[in-house]
Amino acid sequence: MSNHPDAAAKTLDTNEFIKGLWKENPVFIQVLGMCPTLAVTNSVINAITMGLATSFVLIMSNLLVSSLRHVIPKQVRIATYILIIASFVTVADYVIQAVSLDVYKSLGAFIALIVVNCIILGRAEAFASKNSVGNSLLDALGMGVGFTFALLCLGGVREIMGNGTFLGYHVLSAHYQPWIIMILPGGGFFTLGAWLLLFNYLRKRKEKISMQ
């Protein structure tokens, strides 16, 4: 019974939403979607835009995949998912261009690269193709929020340290010396590394406490 994909599909489970925020956070815990996580987080606005765009694609593709899950034959499912995802990414790409060309320019090709973000295909394959539309939506929302939150964590640290600003507003003293490395690629690696360290540390401590 429990093996069956649609077994628990009838009810909505808010855990599907919560898990993406922390326990199964796509960036900090699952370490997925590293490319956008590192590449576009040199400022908060980029991080948020990227987070939202990814969430949008994630939600829409999860919805569509989940609602079509009985229709799509197993053999062609991956191809179909990619098709769906690529379409939504194209949509997101145009919408961002229409909203702000500056943001679009600073994100560059990374909007289009959402297509190959493993989180999206991963959720479609691992969750949406086996669960109800409602739960898939919750899952996508959770993952999206978790992803955006992670990007914000990185973007926030990097923009504040690297530029002394948050969302473009000066939050530190006017004489603050920016750590330019933080908005360089190296800083991206180091910030993510530091966050992962923190999560590792917290997890280790929790394990230790629960063992006692």
Partner 1 sequence: MDFDNLSFIFINASLINNFVLAYFLGICPFLGVSGSLATATRMGFAVIFVMLVSSTCAYGIHSLLLMLHAPYLELISFIVVIASAVQLVEMFIKKFSPALFRALGIFLPLITTNCAILALALFQTAKGYSFIECLVFALGAGVGFTIALVLMAGIREKLDLAEIPDTVKGTALAIMVAGILSLTFMGFAGLGG
Partner 2 sequence: MNQIDLKKLTAPPNPWHMLRSMGGVGIVCALLIVVAFQGTLPRINQNKAEALEKAVFQVLPGTKNRATFRVNPDGACEPFQGEARGQRLVYAGFDENNKLVGIAVEAQGQGFQDVIRLIYGYSPEKQAVIGYQVLESKDTPGLGDKVEKDPHFLANFDNLEVPLAPDGGALQHAIEFVKSGGKQHPWQIEGITGATISSRAIANIMQKSTAEMVPLLTKNLETFQAGQK
Partner 3 sequence: MNLTQKTLEIRTSPHILSGMSTDTIMRNVVYALLPVAAFAVYAFGLAAALVISVSTISTVLTEHVLCRLTKKESTIGDWSAAITGLLYGLTLPPGLPLWMVFCGGVIAIALGKFMFGGLGYNPFNPALVGRAVMQAAFPVAITTWHPAFTTDRFYNLPDSTLTLPFMAPVFKAVTTATPLAQMKFDHKIADSYDLAMGFVSGSTGETCAVLILLGGAYLAWRKMMNWRIPAAIFLTVIVLSEFFHYLKPEIYPDSLFMLLSGGLMLGAVFMATDMVASPMTSRGVMIYGALIGILVVVIRLWGGLPEGVMYAILIANAASPHIDRLVQPRVYGTGGVKRKT
Footprint of partner 2 (CB under 8 A): 4-6, 64, 68, 70-76, 79-80, 83-84, 86-88, 90-91, 94-95, 97-98, 100-101, 105, 162-163, 178, 180, 183-184
CA distance 25 to 31: 8
User: Which one among 45, 150, 160, 182 touches partner 3, defined by CB under 8 A?
Assistant: 182
- Min dist CB 116 to partner 1, Å, is 4
Q: Which is nearer to partner 1, 110 or 176 (CB)?
A: 110
Nearest alpha-carbon partner for 104 in 157, 53, 167, 37: 53
Give me 78's structure tokens: 């991956």
Query: SS3 of 194, please?
Result: helix
Query: Contact between 184 and partner 1 (CB under 8 A)?
Result: yes
Asked if 175 is part of the footprint of partner 3 (rule: CB under 8 A), the reply reads yes
Q: What's CA 82's distance to the chain center, in Å?
A: 17
Instruction: Kindly state the smallest distance separating residue 9's Cβ from partner 1, in Å.
Output: 28
Tell me which of 71, 98, 109, 209 binds partner 1, using CB under 8 A: 109
Per this entry, what is the length of the chain? 212
176: partner contacted, choices partner 3, partner 1, partner 2, none (Cβ within 5-8 A by kind): partner 3
What minimum distance in Å lies between the beta carbon of 30 and partner 3? 23
CB of 181: closest distance to partner 1 in angstroms? Answer: 8
Query: From CA 61, how far away is CA 39, in angstroms rounded?
Result: 23
Nearer to partner 2, 32 or 92 (CB): 92
Q: With beta carbons less than 8 A apart as the criterion, state whether 40 and 110 touch.
A: yes
Least gap, CB of 87 to partner 1 (angstroms):
7
* 3-state class (DSSP) for residue 72: coil
Q: Determine, following the binding rule CB under 8 A, whether residue 179 of this chain makes contact with partner 3.
A: yes
CB 42 within 8 A of CB 36: no
Q: Are 188 and 154 in contact (CB under 8 A)?
A: yes
Q: What is the DSSP letter of 42?
A: T
Instruction: Mention every residue, 6+ apart, whose C-beta is less than 8 A from residue 67.
Output: 133
Site for partner 1 in 120-139 (CB under 8 A): 121
Question: What is the binding site for partner 3 (CB under 8 A)?
Answer: 172-173, 175-182, 184, 186-187, 190
